Amino acid sequence: MDLELMINSFPKLLNAAVITLKLLSVSLIIGLFIGLFFAILRLNKNIFINRFAYGYSYVFRGTPLLVQIFIIYFGLGQIEYLRSTVLWVILKEPYWCAIIAFALNTGAYTSEILRSAFQTIKPGIIEAGKSLGISSKVIFYKIQIPIAIRQSLPAYGNEIILMMKGTSLASTVTIMDLTGVAKYIISTTFKPIEVFIVAGGIYLFMTFIIHNVIKFLEKKYSFN
């Protein structure tokens, strides 16, 4: 066991963890909007809109995240037309490609979580709102969305942790996140166990924090 290496690599890995957290938070925020948007589409009665939203979540949940990143990072750059548009400013950066892939991926899972939360809301609650003369728009924003958010907190907490692990794939497109730096240190020192303990410890610590924040929110927003 090489303690010195562990102590020396700790600050480097901690710096890299900041990048992991940045990737995670930006893609979660974008993903939440995507998820909400597609969850609403799923509730639509129009079969085409419905199928479209289902297809989106099916494709992104049925393929590995790695494929999605590679299609966006390596694949889209191949389209000549895209290179001449403003989009290219974003798509030539591995950082943004990773975020787009993560956001689309987590958006797919989030849309499923929110959809099932919307569907488990008792119709009586909506009817109660209607009988009070509240417009259906207000019912949606003031009654359905808050309840759905509360319902989906436990599942969404799991999704955040899964996504945090997913951000490690950013290292495959040259981003030096926590896993990227860990791999670099491993491949230069050939001490995988020591680096794994430190990097894994940092990941576990982040998991622990996320887990407890979600637990706290669940308690805060519980019905009784």
Partner 1 sequence: MELLAFGDTGWGDELFRATLMTIAVSITAMIIGFLFALIFTPLKLSKNKFLNFIANSYTTIIRGVPELLVIYLFFFGGTGAVMFVASIFGYNEYIEINAFITGAFAIGIISGAYSTEVFRGAIQSIDKGQFEAANVLGLNKFGKFFKIIFPQTLRLAIPNLSNVWQITLKDTSLISVTGLVEIMRQSYIAAGSTRDPLFFYSFAAVLYLLLTFVSMKLINRLEVKYSRGY
Chain residues that interact with partner 1, rule: CB under 8 A: 58-59, 62-68, 70-71, 74-76, 78-79, 161, 164-169, 171-172, 179, 182-183, 186-187, 190, 192-193, 196, 199-200, 203-204, 207-208
CB 212, min distance to partner 1, A = 13
The distance of closest approach from Cβ of residue 82 to partner 1 in the complex, given in angstroms and rounded to an integer, is 10
Q: How many CB atoms lie within 10 A of CB 157?
A: 18
| Minimal distance, residue 66 CB to partner 1, in Å | 5
What is the nearest approach in angstroms of partner 1 to the Cβ of residue 38? Answer: 18
Looking at the Cβ atoms of 106 and 167, the one nearer to partner 1 is 167
Q: Are 108 and 38 contacting, i.e. CB atoms less than 8 angstroms apart?
A: yes
Residues near 64 by Cβ (< 8 Å), separated by ≥ 6? none
Question: Which C-beta is closer to partner 1: that of 29 or that of 204?
Answer: 204
Q: Least distance in Å: CB of 127 to partner 1? A: 32
C-alpha span between 191 and 64 (Å, rounded): 29
Q: Which residues lie closer than 8 Å to 115 by C-beta, 6 or more apart?
A: 39, 42, 43
Nearer to partner 1, 147 or 164 (CB): 164
Closest CA relative to residue 19, chosen from 221, 215, 206: 206
Please identify, using beta-carbon distances, which residue of 74 and 216 lies nearer to partner 1: 74
Kindly state the tokens that stand for 72: 């966006």
Residue with smaller CB distance to partner 1, 7 or 71:
71
Query: Shortest CA distance to 20 belongs to which of 115, 99, 117?
Result: 99
